[in-house]
């Protein structure tokens, strides 16, 4: 059988195995071995290559960035950073109609700078911000949509686990990707906030009159000062980590270590770090890190199989021969990523598609840092889309009987459209993602 056809069939087989319940690591390993066996005709070769990938796939200092940022996120979560960011934003915006919803977006943007995982943001803010919004007379669909929409900021605003995975797969600078995500992330948060304000303006019934006068939130200056003071440590942590990277003081790996230590001090200062809590944080960090590194090992194997099959090379030749406009190819890739985002998790999509897409995009002369940001926005757009948006089901699992899947999806529709608008802007104006890296 033609190696290119085998490579194409393995892509479909991986998607199928993940959809029916295989873990992405197992699917990548099994399908890669099967594909190499069919291409090379010798079963011993793919087995030896798997062993080589297990050693060389993660044998690099740069990979230590993974456990450092994961640990920082867990410790920051333990310190109560999300609650403090939300309380501060909610207090500042309490008199603005729709202010609590906008505060959820702002707090998610701050929390994104220490977590890097959308599902974590969705689970956290489902507990923190839904009840205050409902008590203040906010429409339930608007409240749910605000949480699910703003949670995707976790993957776009650095540090981001997806950016780390993309940087490793595409062999691009993780620091450059972190820098490139800042302007699109802030832009998305602003678009969300303007969108919420516009929806409330056009449909005043979405927010009760009491909510515009501050709802149940206290309004005196002392409370504003107290909530601002509580938010200072987490904001300082963000400035330390990201500022150190952009100023050239730290590499991303060193910044992760500094951030983890800073988050540890923050948790200690808040008197939330017991021995049992620290043990649980270390265990969770170990579980997540092992999972990510296992994914990277099998992804390395899959990338080798795809390159041996010559599928990216043939796809590039086909697109050039068919005389497709390069921007049309990008739009097709983006549509595929959004579609896959409705049925697969973010990491799986990156590991399955990018070994094929990246060589093609590079051959067409596009900047891979820009394409990384475009890919992440497209994937996250799919994660809030029906019928199987992962973030939506994470919220449902967190809320239980408080909300139905249909309600969450219905609330997410305006935010889905706003994400598409921002995605179109980043595609049309690459400078939105490339300007900041160019001046750093």
Q: Which residue has the higher pLDDT, 6 or 432?
A: 432
- DSSP structural state of residue 91: H
Tens digits of per-residue pLDDT, 99-129?
Answer: 888 888 888 887 776 666 666 677 777 877 8
Tens digits of per-residue pLDDT, 171-218?
Answer: 888 888 888 988 999 999 999 999 999 999 888 888 876 555 444 445
Average pLDDT across the chain, whole number:
80
Question: pTM (2 decimals)?
Answer: 0.78
- C-alpha to C-alpha distance for 387 and 378, rounded to whole angstroms: 16
**Secondary structure (DSSP) of 101-136:** HHHHHHHHHHHHHHH--HHHHHHHHHHHTHHHHHHT
* pLDDT higher than threshold 70 for residue 223: no
Phi-psi region of 220 (alpha: psi -120 to 50; beta: other; left: phi over 0): beta
Minimum mean pLDDT range among 42-56, 134-148, 182-196: 42-56
Do 267 and 79 form a contact (C-beta atoms < 8 A)?
yes
Tens digits of per-residue pLDDT, 304-350?
Answer: 787 788 777 777 777 666 677 888 888 988 988 888 877 777 777 88
Minimum mean pLDDT range among 42-51, 142-151, 171-180, 429-438: 42-51
Q: Which residue has the higher pLDDT, 61 or 216?
A: 61
Do 49 and 304 form a contact (C-beta atoms < 8 A)?
yes
SS3 label, residue 228: helix
Q: Alpha carbon of 290 to those of 282, 284, 285: distances in Å?
A: 12, 10, 8
Mean pLDDT score, 217-223: 58
Do 100 and 139 form a contact (C-beta atoms < 8 A)?
no
**Secondary structure (DSSP) of 275-338:** HHHHHHHHHHHHHHHHHHHHHHHHHHHHHHHHHHHTHHHHHHHHHHHTT--HHHHHHHHHHHHH
HEC profile for 3-29? HHHHHHHHHHHHHHHHHCCCCHHHHHH
């Amino acid at each position: 059988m033609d190696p290119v056809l085998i490579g194409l069939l393995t892509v479909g087989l991986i998607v199928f195995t993940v959809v029916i319940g295989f873990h992405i690591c197992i699917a990548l390993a099994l399908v890669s071995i099967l594909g190499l066996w069919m291409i090379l005709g010798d079963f011993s070769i793919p087995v030896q290559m798997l062993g080589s990938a297990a050693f060389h796939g993660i044998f690099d200092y740069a990979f230590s960035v993974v456990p450092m940022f994961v640990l920082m996120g867990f410790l920051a979560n333990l310190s109560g950073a999300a609650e403090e960011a939300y309380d501060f934003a909610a207090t500042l915006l309490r008199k603005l109609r729709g202010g609590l919803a906008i505060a959820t977006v702002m707090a998610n943007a701050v929390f994104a700078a220490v977590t890097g995982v959308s599902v974590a943001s969705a689970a956290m803010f489902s507990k923190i911000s839904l009840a205050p919004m409902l008590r203040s007379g906010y429409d339930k669909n608007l409240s749910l949509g605000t949480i699910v929409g703003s949670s995707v900021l976790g993957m776009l605003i650095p540090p981001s686990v997806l950016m780390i995975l993309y940087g490793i797969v595409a062999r691009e600078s993780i620091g450059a990707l972190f820098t490139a995500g800042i302007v699109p992330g802030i832009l998305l948060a602003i678009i969300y906030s303007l969108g919420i304000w516009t929806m409330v303006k056009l449909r005043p019934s979405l927010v009760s009159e009491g909510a515009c006068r501050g709802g149940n939130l206290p309004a005196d200056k002392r409370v504003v000062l107290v909530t601002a003071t509580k938010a200072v440590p987490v904001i300082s942590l963000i400035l330390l980590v990201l500022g150190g990277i952009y100023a050239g003081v730290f590499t991303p790996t060193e910044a992760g270590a500094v951030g983890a230590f800073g988050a540890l001090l923050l948790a200690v200062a808040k008197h939330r770090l017991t021995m049992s809590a620290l043990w649980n944080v270390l265990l969770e960090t170990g579980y997540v890190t092992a999972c990510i590194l296992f994914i990277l090992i099998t992804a390395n194997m899959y990338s080798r199989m795809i390159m041996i099959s010559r599928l990216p090379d043939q796809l590039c030749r086909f697109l050039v021969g068919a005389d497709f406009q390069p921007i049309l190819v990008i739009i097709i890739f983006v549509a595929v990523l959004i579609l896959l985002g409705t049925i697969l998790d973010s990491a799986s999509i990156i590991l399955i598609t990018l070994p094929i897409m990246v060589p093609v995009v590079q051959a067409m002369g596009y900047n891979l840092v820009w394409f990384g940001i475009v890919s992440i926005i497209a994937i996250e757009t799919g994660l809030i889309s029906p019928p199987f948006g992962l973030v939506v089901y994470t919220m449902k699992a967190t809320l239980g009987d408080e909300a139905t899947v249909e309600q969450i999806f219905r609330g997410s529709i305006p935010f889905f459209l706003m994400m598409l608008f921002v995605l179109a802007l980043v595609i049309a104006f690459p400078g939105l993602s490339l300007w900041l890296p160019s001046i750093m």
